[in-house]
Amino acid sequence: MLMAHKPFRDFEGGLANADGETRWFLMSGDPIFSRNGRFLGYRGVSQDITDRKLAEGKIQKLAYYDHLTELPNRRLFRDRLEQDMKRVTRNNSSLALLFIDLDKFKEVNDTLGHDKGDILLIEAAQRIRKHVRDTDTLARLGGDEFAIVLPEYGETGNIDRIVQDVLQALEMPFELGGGSVGHISGSIGIALYPKEANSIEDLLKHADQAMYAAKHSRTSRFNYFTRSMQEEARDRIEMMNDLRHALELHQLEVYFQPIVDARTGEIVKAEALLRWHHPVRGMVSPLMFIPLAEESGLILNIGDWVFEEALRNIARWQENTGKLVQVSVNKSSVQFMHSDQHHWHENYLKSGLPDHSITVEITESLLLSESDKIRNQFNFFKEHGIELSIDDFGTGFSALSYLNQFDVDYLKIDKSFVQKMTTDSSSKALTEAIIIMAHKLNIKTIAEGVETEAQRNVLKSYGCDFMQGFLFSKPIPSDEFEQWLLK
């Protein structure tokens, strides 16, 4: 009898009170027996440890869950992935790992502010969650990256369906409060186990490589890992390392593409465009190295150098040809957010050039910025004689009211409209509408990508102010540009 009822020490248990609330107790006790050896119960002490249990629960949640989206964090995600990999190995099955990156999220975060960015992340997590099964793991790995583990997915068609549903959900506008709207998209990389990987490290690496390929693909927003991606990833790392030294090794050069007056055909402006002469690769496309420069932060110093080159060449051309040519220089959201360390306006004032010698080109999304830093930069530029141009107008999500608010000087009509103008009635109508609207707001227009006389004639008939494209000239080195001015 005594053996059946042993003493217990530090036993934790939960009890529900009259309100249905569970209280936790730490108990210790000894069995009580009658004189004839009959078990009567226990005598001991108990301590209410409910607060401690709640605190432990919070600590555990902080350790394993993302505080913003309440999804599993990287630590719990990795643990679940390892368990799922072991299980599918035992079952002779397979799993899929999906890496999701939110495209354009950084723009939203930089322009609308981190509070709005957090709201978008929470909503994005909820949208993705609707398209995964209870047996799947959805996690936030950090920043704007999410991951999904799909154990025993069956056929790849099931993966494709989930991917397409997630991508469509992310494309819908995000209402962020206060009238702010966020627009993003997604890129998804997919790796399969055990088909494409033998270890968790390989699986993670392959999914990341596939996601990067999807992010920079012109044809697909999701990609399955292939062996060739390993070579591409190595090549990307090598290119990034080479780019770090390209400026000091004098491999970078600024080319200038003429912008002509639509009425006279005279060169009156130019756009500064960066080129990279790699000693082994030859001319590297800006589509390849500009994203790397922005991701790595190298764009900050490189951008400053491009601006200085623009100032230097404007002064030289004016001295050698007697003509003042306004040069437009692109500035990304990354550069705007670090503008307190990169003083373009000060360098412009020191150059002694006349007002309106420089135009800063920005994307439409920057107009929607609620960042005081970016707004102040716009105002500062205007105060110091630097004009403002909206690049690729018509392809983003701008609000027309912002055009007047920021005193925009130029709209650059995206080349996708210009090049379809003579064959597609919608592109033709949109191009005409943009020109009419701009003129109503006292904004001048620049048509990009003009390649044929037919396009030129249509644009002239609509009253477009300036034109840029291969019909007039490709981007050319500074010396060659000067010869054009002399002609």
Considering only the top CATH level, what class is 8-56? mainly beta
CATH topology of domain 244-486: TIM Barrel (3.20.20)
Determine the Cα–Cα distance for residues 367 and 408; give it in Å rounded to an integer: 10
Q: What pLDDT shows up at residue 258?
A: 96
Q: What pLDDT shows up at residue 42?
A: 67
Determine the Cα–Cα distance for residues 340 and 12; give it in Å rounded to an integer: 57
Determine the Cα–Cα distance for residues 419 and 336; give it in Å rounded to an integer: 31
Neighbours of 222 (CB within 10 A): 24
Name residues of the chain where pLDDT drops below 50: 1-3
Q: What pLDDT shows up at residue 60?
A: 62
Q: What pLDDT shows up at residue 3?
A: 47
Cβ(422)–Cβ(458) below 8 Å:
yes
Q: Which residues of 303-313 are buried (b: 16+ CB within 10 A; e: fewer)?
A: bbebbebbbeb
Q: What pLDDT shows up at residue 170?
A: 94
* Amino acid in the structure at residue 197: A
Determine the Cα–Cα distance for residues 465 and 447; give it in Å rounded to an integer: 8
Q: For 59-113, write each residue's pLDDT tens digit.
A: 565 567 888 898 999 889 999 999 999 998 888 888 999 999 999 898 888 778 8
Q: What pLDDT shows up at residue 449?
A: 93
- What Rg, from alpha-carbon coordinates, does the chain have? 31
CATH topology of domain 66-236: Alpha-Beta Plaits (3.30.70)
Phi-psi region of 92 (alpha: psi -120 to 50; beta: other; left: phi over 0): left
Q: What pLDDT shows up at residue 228?
A: 67
Q: What pLDDT shows up at residue 317?
A: 95
CA distances from 376 to 170, 339, 343, 382, 383 (A): 31, 10, 13, 10, 10
Q: What pLDDT shows up at residue 334?
A: 78
Angle at 211 between CA 369 and CA 284, to 5 degrees: 80
What is the domain partition of the chain in residue ranges? 8-56, 66-236, 244-486
What are the two backbone dihedrals, phi and then psi, of residue 28, each rounded to the nearest 5 degrees? -135, 140
